[in-house]
Chains A and B, each alone.
Chain A
């Protein structure tokens, strides 16, 4: 297997696992669109790096984690208003377009693709170093999620009782958002700022439809994300001119769609008794 393929598979797998795990909780907590906002930030962060001549990955990471931290600190108030959040992050995206224009103005070397690379990912352009870093980061994400999963589940489903039981609900929510920020920064390298929303939504949505056991759901979300990534990479490799991020998101979407045709509790559902 060619090196670029190895790097893509390695990084892609690590990122998919992380995306699946956080996706399960994002769907549970109705925080899916936080990833949309963070996705916009990854693009603008990367473009700021290009425009102001520092490493775009650095810009991407710091901006994304900083904004995720901002969400974490604001807590409840940050989830208040769709219009405010949507407007703010629309403008942030526009800012990224500005930075991209600034960059292409002053550099003329093969830069027309810069936008596409960060908007739609460039998984086959991941270097060996990037791949190894991704693996380390995603292992960190997995460990953090493994530690947090139980109390976070409690806090997400049953907040009042969790608080009474001494679960640090606010802290967990904030920590979770930081983990989401880190994962989004990673996922942007694989599937891009605009599509990472799909990588966290579709496998997790499918997992929620397939099972009601929380830990099984977590594992399933990660598994479906990994499967989508591998299948997507394979399709992109075999079918010429298919962009890998499209293939990955396509498989994930298809998987989610399939879960709508299978009704797992159809057999066990008994007629509703009037109790």
Chain B
């Protein structure tokens, strides 16, 4: 995968089985979000192929629920949470919804159901700009789930949340994964909040990737081999993992928006 004239990663061969909760990890700048966008067909691969849900990347996006990175709504935005979730259901259709049709009622029911599933019913009617980060995130997960996707892709959803919220949302995602059989692919920069719930991890590096269970992958030998530099994985007394020695991506400081280095 290239961004601008910088080779992000190569030789990444990843196979994600259905119904599992998988995390994509790696240092900053290695291209985790880019991998996600490649899977969605939003960015083309420089070389190789991506198949998602049996189709080339981008074709099956209707069956994918996507939560991009760091979305927050302008605090003065006067649109309700429930409307934002509804957009996830049929916001891409042209024309106006017919207010009194059975189809519309059905849609309303589905939206209310999915909001219930994420425990956001008590504040879904409020303008989304007024809600806290954790509340917005729940509604956004509802938006990603409202079409009953087979695959849920989340890009650093716990990024801007405080610790109690992080574990609450992580638990919610796990519950969704187990109850609905949805495959969850989640990019994270800190594995600890989700470690208890993960089935697999994919560790991404310049020269490739390693997949497997956390116990297999997040070990000093495995990661050292991947990054070709000594890495130590330490376990703290409360069970958290700390990865020491992980290289940050070279400081090319490419412009995030155009991909052109400046």
A and B touch in the complex (CB under 8 A): yes
How many angstroms between the C-alpha atoms of A162 and B87 in the bound complex?
9
How many angstroms between the C-alpha atoms of A167 and B61 in the bound complex?
11
Quote the shortest CB–CB distance from B114 to chain A (angstroms).
Answer: 15
How many angstroms between the C-alpha atoms of A214 and B127 in the bound complex?
11
Name the contact of B80 in the complex, choosing from A150, A160, A165, A213 (C-beta under 8 A). Answer: A213
Closest B residue to A149 using CB positions: B96
Chain A residues at the B interface, C-beta cutoff of 8 Å: 146-151, 153-154, 157-158, 160-167, 208-209, 211-215, 217, 265, 268, 272, 275
Given contacts A209-B78, A275-B132, contact A166 B61 (CB under 8 A): yes
Q: Report B52-71 CB contacts with A as 1/0, cut-off 8 Å.
A: 00000000011010111001
Once the chains bind, are B78 and A212 in contact (CB under 8 Å)?
Answer: yes
5 contacts between A and B (CB under 8 A): A150-B96, A157-B77, A164-B42, A212-B80, A213-B83
Report chain B residues within 8 Å CB of A215.
96-97
Interface residues in B86-116 (C-beta closer than 8 Å to A): 87-88, 90-97
Quote the shortest CB–CB distance from A207 to chain B (angstroms).
Answer: 9
- 9 A-B pairs besides A157-B84, A157-B87 with CB distance below 8 A are A146-B95, A146-B96, A153-B91, A157-B77, A161-B143, A165-B66, A166-B92, A265-B127, A268-B126
Once the chains bind, are A148 and B84 in contact (CB under 8 Å)?
Answer: no
How many angstroms between the C-alpha atoms of A151 and B97 in the bound complex?
12
Once the chains bind, are A150 and B78 in contact (CB under 8 Å)?
Answer: no
Once the chains bind, are B96 and A154 in contact (CB under 8 Å)?
Answer: no
Once the chains bind, are A150 and B143 in contact (CB under 8 Å)?
Answer: no
Report chain B residues within 8 Å CB of A148.
94
**Most interface-central of B62, B68, B79 (chain A CB within 10 A):** B79
* 8 nearest A-B residue pairs (beta carbon): A154-B91, A160-B68, A164-B66, A212-B80, A167-B92, A154-B87, A212-B78, A212-B127
How many angstroms between the C-alpha atoms of A160 and B38 in the bound complex?
14
Given contacts A164-B42, A164-B66, contact A150 B94 (CB under 8 A): yes
Once the chains bind, are A165 and B83 in contact (CB under 8 Å)?
Answer: no
Once the chains bind, are B42 and A163 in contact (CB under 8 Å)?
Answer: yes
Once the chains bind, are A154 and B92 in contact (CB under 8 Å)?
Answer: yes
Quote the shortest CB–CB distance from B232 to chain A (angstroms).
Answer: 36
Once the chains bind, are B91 and A165 in contact (CB under 8 Å)?
Answer: yes
Name the contact of A160 in the complex, choosing from B71, B78, B95, B127 (C-beta under 8 A). Answer: B71
How many angstroms between the C-alpha atoms of A209 and B127 in the bound complex?
11
How many angstroms between the C-alpha atoms of A164 and B90 in the bound complex?
13
Given contacts A151-B93, A160-B68, contact A214 B83 (CB under 8 A): yes
Name the contact of A150 in the complex, choosing from B68, B77, B90, B135 (C-beta under 8 A). Answer: B90
